[in-house]
C-alpha cells in the first residue's frame, strides 16, 4: 500500500497549533520572571553580542520595526536592557542587556526548558531527536 502525501494545509495547521501550544506553555511557565518568549529572543540576541543596533536586531530576528520598538521600549522601561550612544557613530544607539536582564533571562530560560520538557514527554528520546532533526531541516530552508 502506497503512502499518501500529507495535506500541506493540515500540516501547516498542526505546525501553527504546535507553535501556539509551546509558546503559551513557555510563557505561562516563565510568567513569574516577567519574561515572555519574545523578550527572551531579543535579550538572547543582545547577550550573544551578535547585534548592536536596533536595526541589526530586527533583521537578525525577523521582527518588524514597530513591534521591535515596542518590545525594546518595554524591556528598557523594566531596566532589562538599555540604549546608549554608539561610540563609533553618535547618531546611532547601541542596545545592551543589563545585569538584571541577564539574571531574569537565565531564570526565564530555565522555566522555558521545563515547559518544553513537559510538552516533549509524549515522545520518547529517539522521537524527540527525530523531531529536532526534522524541524532543524525545515527552518534551515532559505526564504524566497
Domain with 123 in it: what CATH number?
1.10.10.10
Mean pLDDT of the 116-125 span: 97
Q: Within a domain: residue 90?
A: yes
Q: How many domains does the chain have?
A: 1
Distance of CA 19 to the CA centre of its chain: 11
Say if 3 falls within a structural domain: no
- Using the Cα atoms of residue 135, residue 46, residue 94 and residue 84 in order, give the sign of their dihedral: positive
Domain boundaries, position 34: 9-139
| Averaged pLDDT for residues 17-34 | 96
Distance set, CA 28 to CA 31, 51, 116 (Å)? 5, 28, 11
Q: In the structure grid, which three cell numbers stand for residue 22, read together?
A: 509551546
Domain for residue 77, yes or no? yes
For residue 135, being part of any structural domain is answered with yes
| Distance, CA of 47 to CA of 135 (rounded, Å) | 25
pTM: 0.82
In this prediction, residue 28 has a pLDDT band, given cuts at 50, 70 and 90, of very high
List strand residue ranges (DSSP E) for 87-121, in order: 89-97
Amino acid at each position: 500500500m502506497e503512502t499518501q502525501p500529507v495535506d500541506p494545509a493540515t500540516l501547516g495547521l498542526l505546525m501553527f497549533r504546535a507553535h501556539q501550544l509551546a509558546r503559551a506553555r513557555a510563557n505561562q511557565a516563565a510568567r513569574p520572571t516577567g519574561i515572555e518568549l519574545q523578550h527572551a529572543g531579543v535579550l538572547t540576541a543582545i547577550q550573544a553580542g551578535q547585534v548592536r543596533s536596533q536595526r541589526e536586531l530586527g533583521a537578525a530576528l525577523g521582527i518588524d520595526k514597530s513591534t521591535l520598538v515596542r518590545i525594546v521600549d518595554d524591556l528598557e522601561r523594566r531596566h532589562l536592557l538599555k540604549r546608549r550612544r554608539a561610540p563609533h557613530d553618535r547618531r546611532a544607539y547601541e542596545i545592551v542587556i543589563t545585569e538584571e536582564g541577564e539574571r531574569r533571562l537565565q531564570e526565564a530560560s530555565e522555566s522555558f526548558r521545563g515547559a518544553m520538557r513537559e510538552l516533549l514527554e509524549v515522545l520518547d528520546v529517539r522521537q524527540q531527536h527525530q523531531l529536532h532533526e526534522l524541524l532543524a531541516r525545515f527552518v534551515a530552508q532559505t526564504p524566497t
